[in-house]
C-alpha cells in the first residue's frame, strides 16, 4: 500500500523501495501469486523511477511467476506493461509480440485490466507501419478513453494520431502511470513550444 501510494504521489524511488520490499517478503513466505503481482507493480515503478532496463527484466520475471501460478490474467496485464516498456526502449518486435499476445487474450476473454492500453499501443505500432485501418482504431480508442477518463490511453492515441499538443495537455493526468519516455510517438507531430501561440 505504501508503494502504490508513493507511486500515485510521484515518489517513484520510494515506490521502488516499498514494493520491492513487499515482493521479497512475499517470495520468502512462499506467496507466489502475490509476489508475481508485486513484481508487476515493481517493474512499472522502476520504469517510472527512470530504470527501464531493470523494469523490463522485472516485468518479464512477473510474467514467468504469474504463469507458474496459473494466473493468466496477471500475466497478460504484465505483458501489456512489458510491451509499453519495450516500445519505449525501441525494441519493437518483442514489444509487438507482447502486446499482440495480451490483446488476443483480452479479446477472447471479453476484456480485462489495461485491455484498452494494449490495443492502443498495438494500433500505434500498426499506424507507424502504415496499416490503413490503424487510424480508425486509434480514433475509436480515443473516443472510448475520453468517455472512460482513461488518460494514459488518451495520451498514446493522441500521440499516434499526430496530435501531441493535445496529448501534452492530458499528460499531467496520466503522469502517475506513464512517463514522457513512454511516448514513443510524441515527436511525430510538430509542436508549439510552451508559452507560445
* Domains, the chain, ordered by start: 1-93 (1.25.40.10), 114-187 (no CATH)
The per-residue pLDDT string of the chain (197 residues; one tens digit each, 9 = 90 and over) reads 899 899 888 899 999 999 999 999 999 999 999 999 999 999 999 999 999 999 999 999 999 999 999 999 999 999 999 999 999 999 999 999 999 999 999 999 999 999 999 999 999 999 999 999 999 999 999 999 999 999 999 999 999 999 999 999 999 999 989 999 999 999 754 444 443 33
The pLDDT score that the predictor gives to residue 194 is 40
The predicted pLDDT at position 188 comes to: 54
Q: Give pTM, 2 decimals.
A: 0.92
CB-based contact 63:75 (threshold 8 Å): yes
Q: How far is CA 36 from CA 6, 24, 169, 171, in A?
A: 20, 10, 34, 29
The widest CA-to-CA distance across the chain, in whole angstroms, is 57
Q: CA 9 from chain center: how many Å?
A: 18
Measured distance CA(160)–CA(43) in Å, rounded: 24
pLDDT at 163: 96
Q: What is the reported pLDDT for 196? A: 36
Return the pLDDT at 15: 95
Amino acid at each position: 500500500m505504501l508503494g502504490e501510494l508513493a507511486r500515485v504521489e510521484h515518489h517513484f524511488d520510494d515506490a521502488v523501495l516499498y514494493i520491492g520490499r513487499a515482493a521479497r517478503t512475499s517470495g520468502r513466505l512462499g506467496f507466489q501469486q502475490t509476489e508475481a503481482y508485486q513484481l508487476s507493480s515493481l517493474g512499472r515503478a522502476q520504469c517510472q523511477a527512470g530504470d527501464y532496463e531493470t523494469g523490463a527484466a522485472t516485468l518479464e520475471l512477473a510474467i514467468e511467476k504469474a504463469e507458474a501460478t496459473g494466473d493468466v490474467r496477471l500475466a497478460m496485464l504484465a505483458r501489456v506493461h512489458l510491451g509499453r516498456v519495450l516500445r519505449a526502449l525501441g525494441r519493437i518486435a518483442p514489444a509487438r509480440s507482447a502486446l499482440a499476445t495480451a490483446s488476443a487474450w483480452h479479446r477472447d476473454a471479453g476484456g480485462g485490466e489495461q485491455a484498452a492500453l494494449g490495443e492502443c499501443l498495438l494500433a500505434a505500432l500498426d499506424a507507424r507501419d502504415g496499416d490503413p485501418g490503424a487510424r480508425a482504431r486509434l480514433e475509436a480508442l480515443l473516443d472510448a478513453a475520453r468517455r472512460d477518463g482513461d488518460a494514459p490511453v488518451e495520451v498514446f492515441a493522441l500521440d499516434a494520431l499526430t496530435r501531441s499538443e493535445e496529448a501534452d495537455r492530458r499528460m499531467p493526468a496520466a503522469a502517475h502511470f506513464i512517463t514522457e519516455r513512454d511516448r514513443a510517438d510524441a515527436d511525430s507531430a510538430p509542436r508549439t513550444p510552451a508559452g507560445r501561440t
